[in-house]
A = this chain, B = another copy of it.
Amino acid sequence: MCSPLKYNYPLMFKIITKSPRSKARVGKLKTPHGTIDTPAFMPVGTQGAVKAVTQQQVKDIGAQIILCNTYHLYLRPGIKVIKKAGGLHKFIGWDGPILTDSGGYQVFSLAKLRKISDEGVTFNSHIDGSKHLLTPEKVVEIQSIFGSDIMMPLDECVAYPSTKADAERSVIRTTKWAKRSKEMRDETLRLRSGQGCEMGGELFGIVQGGMFKDLRKRSAEEIRELDFPGYGIGGLSVGEPKGLMLEMLEVSADNLEYEKPKHLMGVGFPEDIVEAVKYGIDLFDCVIPTRLARHGAFLTGKGKQIIRNSKFASDFTPLDKDCDCYACKNFTRAYIRHLFIAKEILPLTLMTIHNLRFIMRLMEELREKIKNGLI
């Protein structure tokens, strides 16, 4: 059983403008569910919903793609329900592109009693303690059932700091798993194409290598060898200094084809995004804008502000006077502060809308600047 064939092109990435000043570029990434203007930010919908906002509000903010977490959705509601619903897009009521991660990062950060071997990862669910085995093949299978536009293979991300031996081991395993993931994806494609089914999305390769330049280079070369249509750069923004992150980012990106789309996984502080686009990064995702909002912080041109601050009690200006979001066009800091202190739900929604729109406007500005040769 599969959805009938609706399109027969693979993921397509077209670079529209190359910066004369850096590796930054403006592009268009075509996926089965729509085209994304890059560099792009992907709001995170961990459990199949961007927290505190509706799908309509996510669209209104200008988001063209969202990221969902394979680990969370695999455990709850489970692939049976999502398969029955007709895939993840239908299940969550989002008809735009979806990127799903591999779940590997969450296994390492959330699951209990995890055990890693060449076969895959065994772990106990953080929800009910149930035991699971995720292999590279299984992870591709899950994301194929989801119908994700962009899938990520299982990888191993080392903690920071790590020894070189640990980082090397993770590079070796990540490459092995990438090969198995690709084989599984190719096998799925062959099966689907023979049945006249939708081809589904594409699988990216992931570069690891800890904080070691030579390992980053080696990982990038090995993954590049496998000829994925795009790449994730993983294992960064895990606690290391900014300078080190950019150094690792540079060596990772430079050893991949310039022409292919690159996703800097989990990175989303405005200042990091501004730097990373210069190294040719096209996709970003991060929970920071949405999480900050729920904790009462909003982003402005002058930095992060805390809504509880008593100076906002009679401040009848918008969260950010330069912002065009629903929250800024209709409500004041004084009102949102009042609601936040009164423990209402609405201020979380309003600040989430604003923080996401803040990042979306940043992406729009960056694309403009690249087009105008300013970055």
Would A345 and B52 count as touching, CB distance under 8 A? yes
- Chain B nearest CB from A83 CB (Å) reads 10
Stretch at the interface among A29-37, A84-92, A153-161: A84-92
From B53, B77, B332, B346, A49 is in contact (CB under 8 Å) with: B346
Separation of A345 and B344 alpha carbons in the complex (Å): 12
Would A92 and B326 count as touching, CB distance under 8 A? no
Would A326 and B56 count as touching, CB distance under 8 A? yes
Which residues in B have their C-beta under 8 angstroms from that of A344? Answer: 47, 49, 51
Would A85 and B345 count as touching, CB distance under 8 A? no
Beta-carbon contacts under 8 Å, A306-324 to B: 313-314, 316
Would B93 and A335 count as touching, CB distance under 8 A? yes
Would A93 and B331 count as touching, CB distance under 8 A? yes
**A372 interface residue (CB < 8 Å to B):** no
Would A51 and B326 count as touching, CB distance under 8 A? no
Beta-carbon contacts under 8 Å, A326-359 to B: 326, 330-332, 334-335, 338-339, 341-342, 344-346, 348-350
Contact string against B for A residues 10-50, beta-carbon threshold 8 Å, 1 for contact and 0 otherwise: 00000000000000000000000000000000000001110
Would A332 and B85 count as touching, CB distance under 8 A? yes
Contact string against B for A residues 163-174, beta-carbon threshold 8 Å, 1 for contact and 0 otherwise: 000000000000
Would A81 and B334 count as touching, CB distance under 8 A? yes
A91 nearest CB neighbor, chain B only: B335
Which residues in B have their C-beta under 8 angstroms from that of A80? Answer: 314
Which residues in B have their C-beta under 8 angstroms from that of A345? Answer: 51-52, 345, 348-349
Which residues in B have their C-beta under 8 angstroms from that of A331? Answer: 93
**A361 interface residue (CB < 8 Å to B):** no
Separation of A80 and B330 alpha carbons in the complex (Å): 21
> Could you name 14 residue pairs across A and B whose Cβ atoms are closer than 8 Å?
A47-B344, A48-B339, A49-B346, A51-B344, A54-B326, A56-B326, A76-B341, A80-B314, A81-B313, A85-B335, A91-B332, A91-B334, A93-B331, A345-B345
A residues near B (Cβ < 8 Å) are 47-49, 51-56, 72, 76-77, 80-81, 84-85, 91-93, 313-314, 316, 326, 330-332, 334-335, 338-339, 341-342, 344-346, 348-350
Known: A49-B344, A345-B345, A349-B349. 20 other contacts (CB 8 A): A47-B342, A49-B339, A49-B346, A51-B346, A52-B345, A54-B350, A55-B330, A56-B326, A76-B338, A77-B313, A77-B338, A81-B313, A85-B316, A85-B332, A85-B334, A91-B335, A93-B331, A93-B332, A93-B335, A345-B348
